[in-house]
Amino acid sequence: MSVIEMNRPRVKNSANTLSRAKALGKGAANLAAKTSAKASVNALAKLKKKPTAKSSRKNGKNGWRTAATSDHHELYELSVQTPKEEVEFIDKVFKSITNRLPATFREDFCGTHILSSAWVIRRPTNHAYGVDLDPSVLAWGAARRKQQLSPSAHKRLHTVQGNVLSHKGDLVDVVAAFNFSYYIFKKRAELLRYFKFARTRLKKDGVFFLDCYGGYESFSEQNEERNLDGFTYIWDTAKYNPISGEVLNHIHFKFPDGTQIRKAFTYDWRLWTIAELQELLADAGFKRSTVYWEGTDHATGGGNGIFRKATQGEACAGWIAYIAAEK
């Protein structure tokens, strides 16, 4: 059994499972307006909490972060992103399908393009292409990645301010739309259009990767807090419409001195089901889509961090799953 150890926090049977959303900034809103529109990977990802103390503290009262000294993009990356582990996930799944390792990667809705950064670090033959509408988020990410990457790796990371529905670029082995970014497409026709276009950007044996979330608590209007080292991350399900499936979520941050960053990020989405997504992927022309579902730790009742291919899931309070769609 192949197992990857990851740092991504995932708490099955809790709405904390849902606490992941892409840092897209105003680009997401612009896109909505413009569109109006595993060998075989049987198990993946044993998960632990993050971040570390060194990475999350900053100057402020008693050496801790405050709202005034914090950057919301940095807080987002510290709170929810584990790019190294997700790249390893993609590698293993892709190899299980194609019997080769992927080299070219497109990150749609890339935001600060931290996943693309991890992609070029993984192998010296890897190239990554990030696409996002928001120039300010791309600029923030570009400055950060230039500091973090070697000159060689930095040359293999390419980003463009563009629309994921129309920017072509080079054909790639992998297209990824992670952290539920594509939930911005609320209408079936809009999401089908995106899936069809994503398929055209793949090489003949390419794979399209998505993640998705659900569970009965995802329909509840509530706040869930996760205490990290130096700040608290808050996932706020502010509104859910059971007729349209639309959901309004916010991310807030609060700090030991009592200050807060309210609505650091806002997501106006449709909460799609796995069944709907797989039907849309089939209609878009993908020959097969496979769900990777998290198992249960029977001692705690929570998730065990092991993701297996599945055709049946558990009706729990909260879950996150991956979908790999083969061109």
pLDDT digit string (tens) for 237-284? 999 999 999 999 999 999 999 999 999 999 999 999 999 999 999 999
Query: Which of the four pLDDT bands, split at 50, 70 and 90, describes residue 27?
Result: very low
**Strand, helix or coil for residue 31:** helix
Higher pLDDT, 169 or 4: 169
Q: pLDDT tens digit string along 62-83? A: 568 899 999 899 888 888 888 8
HSE-up of 176 (CA within 13 Å, CB side)?
A: 29
* Distance between first and last Cα of the chain: 26
Q: What's residue 78's pLDDT?
A: 85
Q: What's residue 294's pLDDT?
A: 85
User: 5-19+38-53+74-219+273-326 belongs to which homologous superfamily?
Assistant: Vaccinia Virus protein VP39 (3.40.50.150)
| Contacts (Cβ under 8 Å, ≥6 apart) of 198 | 108, 164, 175, 177, 208, 284
Longest Cα–Cα distance of the chain, Å, equals: 56
Range 141-168 average pLDDT:
93
User: Is the pLDDT assigned to residue 285 strictly greater than 50?
Assistant: yes
**Tokens of residue 20, six digits:** 């992941």
